[in-house]
Structure 1
Amino acid sequence: MTGVLRPGHAQIRVMNLEEGVHHYRDILGMTETGRDDQGRVYLKCWEEYDHSSVILREADSAGIDFFAFRVLDNATLNKLEADLIEYGLPTTRIPAGELLETGERVRFTLPSGHDIELYAEKTRIGNGLGGINPNPWNEGAEKGIAPLRLDHCLLYGPNVMEVQKIFEDVLGFQLVERSLTPDGEANMGIWMTCSNKVHDIAFVEHPEPGKLHHLSFLLDSWEKVLRAADLMSMNDVPVDIGPTRHGITRGATIYAWDPSGNRFETFMGGYTVYPDSEVLTWTFEGLGEGGGLDFAQRKLHESFLTIVT
């Protein structure tokens, strides 16, 4: 792993900031790490070392402003920016400090209408365990659903095949799984990794650009997913799908909504991907009756295809 390392942060729009903070901090169990002079609120999962992975911004409509990846170093950042420009994608340099505790960012817009960022520097505040003889988990920080990290996102928009080429040819991602259009002639959905995880980002073809389907937060066991379901019910969090297992990625999951209608996922599992792993293919029919989305019910839930922010 020498280029793009991992998902870094997402800035999402919420229609009531304090309701959003209550959801992500007190129910999901993230740690609030700061607020800036723009009114944005910064949060991290307990196992994350970096300052923040979710930034909340109050707005008139829900959705995502941008999704970012951390890269190895500043030389890598400069190289990837040059590669993006050579490919034909204009970039914008955002100065260090525009986001709290975050270095320079390179932003570009995908043909799907999504803004993606790359950055190399963010203040490391740790997970509270220290680096010498650490405990296996942080009792003080593990509250609420308590995800380990921001794991991935699924974005909806047009031109998925063009997006795939950018991630493969410029950013060095690997296609792990794909779902086909009803006619079987093109990819309707793509699941891609920059690591050996089953996916770090995914896209589904959709006529409206720039849409968020979900942010996904990693849990470490099926038991924790079931506990998340209890906590969602106890806190009146509306659930979309689950608890169940995906056929795609083999992950165990619950999809639910924050108070503004942004979908989020509590996720665990998946499989290890290697550079020589074969791409797995799902037909359109396989998404439903084949168990691609919901392996337990073998059902393609209409909400999954139609509700985005």
Structure 2
Amino acid sequence: MSAVMRLGYVQLRVTDLEEARNHYSNTLGMEVVHEEPGKLWLKCWDEWDHHSLVIEEGGVGLVKLGYKVDSPEALADFERRSQQFGATVGRFSEGENLKVGDGVRITLPSDHTLELYTDMEFAGTETGAINPEAWPRNIRGVGTHWIDHALISVDEPALVERFMSECLDFRSAERAVVSMEDPELLGSWMTCGESPHDLAFIKGPNNKLHHFAYHLEDWSSILKAGDIFSMDDVPIDIGPTRHGITRGTTIYFFDPAGNRNEVFAGLGYRAQKDFPTITWTSDQLAKGIFYHARELNEGFTTVFT
């Protein structure tokens, strides 16, 4: 069965390119793989494709998200279903995105731009595919493994959940509702594979980013990341702590432009196709988001870029 495979790239606006370069390359440990005036392309050490992050100077916030698809037939199928849903859909050509092949560009019901593609130039990881070491010795800073997921804000969570499910075959691993008696949807953590979430969204203004996240190995890696953030004067939003939702361990922090990032460890569970959706009610949502403190920082659910 054809499918969306994973989050492939995040494209982001920043206010100062050199500050962003220092943050994403030196503090987080990404490699700059290409640059042009006002724009950088970066990848993590454990990613196979050419890049996973594009940053462009001139503002703040999300430009678009790219998800990799396993076949051209899947692209055509997702394109057709998205059009039938009523979404704005168009094609983009090879080379329009650096090192990326042909694809489909979709405007979600929340006005976010989502791109689907099958091919990106293969670059390989720092450790390679033949007799690889456990990790490269030239890791800088946090040493993020890969970009893992994104969380966006949407005005109509139920509509976006229905689109992602009906058009792109995402499944909701966990959902937040007002109550069991009032099923109004407040947020959804959706998967296209077995990860607890490949794309999540909560109620908020359309076309905004809450955060995008990097995978780290374990809890000790999260703690080390916190130390490095203190060393580099990175503004920490929340953490280190654990989520109830997804069970992951986490730190939320900001890049120099004010875009929220996350380092995330712990798969929590495998969201296989027979996995029953977990439901959180609004009276327990603070525990779901911050399992230890069980309190919501107001800015966490109101600050978007």
2:290 corresponds in structure 1 to 294
| CA apart distance, 1:3 | 1.1
Between the aligned partners of 1:243 and 1:184, the Cα distance in structure 2 is 33
Question: Which residue, out of 194, 218, 230, partners 1:233?
Answer: 230
| CA apart distance, 1:159 | 1.3
Between the aligned partners of 2:262 and 2:215, the Cα distance in structure 1 is 8
For the Cα contact (< 8 Å) 1:28–1:145, is it kept in 2? yes
RMSD (Å), alpha carbons: 1.3
Q: Secondary structure at the match of 1:7?
A: strand
1:191 corresponds in structure 2 to 189
Matched, 1:126 2:130: no
Identity %: 40
Q: Which runs of 5+ in 2 are unaligned?
A: none
What is the number of residues matched between the two proteins? 303
Question: Which residue, out of 233, 244, 248, partners 1:247?
Answer: 244
Question: What does residue range 85-100 of structure 1 map to in structure 2 within 5 Å?
Answer: 85-100=83-98
For the Cα contact (< 8 Å) 2:2–2:73, is it kept in 1? no
For the Cα contact (< 8 Å) 1:92–1:106, is it kept in 2? yes
Question: What does residue range 1-309 of structure 1 map to in structure 2 within 5 Å?
Answer: 2-36=2-36, 39-59=38-58, 61-140=59-138, 142-181=139-178, 184-206=182-204, 208-269=205-266, 270-288=268-286, 291-309=287-305
Aligned letter for 1:138? P
Between the aligned partners of 1:128 and 1:265, the Cα distance in structure 2 is 22
Residues 209-251 of structure 1 show CA distances to partners (whole Å, capped at 9, x for unaligned) of 1010001000011000000000000000000000000011100
Residues 36-84 of structure 1 show CA distances to partners (whole Å, capped at 9, x for unaligned) of 46x321001110000011100111x311010110000222212211221
For the Cα contact (< 8 Å) 1:184–1:283, is it kept in 2? no
For the Cα contact (< 8 Å) 2:150–2:212, is it kept in 1? yes
Between the aligned partners of 2:273 and 2:185, the Cα distance in structure 1 is 21
Residues 72-104 of structure 1 show CA distances to partners (whole Å, capped at 9, x for unaligned) of 022221221122112222212122112211112
Between the aligned partners of 2:298 and 2:88, the Cα distance in structure 1 is 36
Q: Secondary structure at the match of 1:57?
A: strand
Q: Secondary structure at the match of 1:12?
A: strand
Between the aligned partners of 1:130 and 1:28, the Cα distance in structure 2 is 21
For the Cα contact (< 8 Å) 2:92–2:104, is it kept in 1? yes
Please give the TM-score of this superposition, normalised by the length of structure 2: 0.96
Q: Which runs of 5+ in 1 are unaligned?
A: none
Please give the TM-score of this superposition, normalised by the length of structure 1: 0.95
